[in-house]
Structure 1
Amino acid sequence: MSCTFKTTRRVEFHETDMAGIVHFSNFYKYMEQAEHEYFRSLGLTIVDKQQDGSVLGWPRVSAQCSFESPVFYGDLLEIRLSVERLGVKSLTIEYEFWRDQTKIAKGRMKTVCCHFTHGSPMKSIEIPEWIQKKIEDSIDHAE
């Protein structure tokens, strides 16, 4: 996996279960947080309000995560994000979670670029060229 973006996150107490282990559902939140940080690093946003009041957004169409090692309160996670596929309308991102030299988990999310207009159903659209260019540039710099 060629890493495009890295971020860190410390595990909070409220994210753990009765055994003191991070509850699996939090990994999906961690992926989303890393995705948002990645977009911000490119000067983009997940929810882009347009001048006409409509919104350009990225709803999820699939998400998965597999786990290899437990994580505990206070652990510092490194989340490595890579763009697996930049399609015409969709973006698939892979995530790897690491604590020091230990791989914790691996996940994947697929999102679709959509246009939201009040009173109308959301509509998938081609990723605007200027957004596609910023994502492509981040991939090129990672290789």
Structure 2
Amino acid sequence: MIYKRRIHFYETDAQGIVHHSNYFRLFEEARGEFLRSIGMPYSKLREEGYEVVLLEAYCQFREPILYDQEVNVEINLTEMDRYFFYFNYHVWVEGKIKAIGKTKHCFIKRAKIVSIPQKLRDLLADSISKIPL
């Protein structure tokens, strides 16, 4: 799935470059849209008592992204087991890779890690791609 949006001025630093912390926001936005696209938005998960927790996050910054550029965040679910699932991200502008990232997640319910709900596991299983970073 590809998530697209334009960079806002407040996301940049004094040099006019996207601040490093905002790449993780882009990843989160793309993840939210990914879950929505498979019919399981965060709001629905929360209604069922689940929270999606970020356990690990990595980003390699290759080239700067500037104010007002349109970014494309390609998100791929790459792995899933009983408790954990992993995403890879490619951030690009005008066909050029600007950053790559990875995240690891789990579900919690009542403050405890739980197995990925079967309904979501089935939806996610159809979305797994084997694209290495």
TM value normalised by structure 1: 0.85
In the other structure, the counterpart of 1:42 is 38
Unaligned 5+ segments in structure 1 are 117-121
In the other structure, the counterpart of 2:55 is 61
Return the index of the structure with the highest Cα Rg: 1
- For the pair 1:78 / 2:72, whether they are aligned, the reply is yes
- For the pair 1:130 / 2:119, whether they are aligned, the reply is yes
- For the pair 1:89 / 2:87, whether they are aligned, the reply is no
Q: 1:8 aligns with which of 4, 8, 29?
A: 4
Q: Does the residue aligned with 1:138 lie in a helix, a strand or coil?
A: coil
* Matches of 2:30 and 2:88, distance apart in 1: 11
Identity %: 27
Shift of 1:134: 0.5
Shift of 1:139: 2.9
Contact 2:79 2:128 in 1 (8 A): no
The one-character-per-residue Cα deviations of 1:70-127 (angstroms, maximum 9, x if unpaired) are 00001011100011211111111011101012100001111111112xxxxx111111
Shift of 1:48: 2.1
- After TM superposition, what 4+ stretches of structure 1 lie above 6 angstroms from structure 2? none
In the other structure, the counterpart of 1:119 is none
| Count of matched residue pairs | 128
Shift of 1:45: 2.3
* Matches of 1:90 and 1:10, distance apart in 2: 31
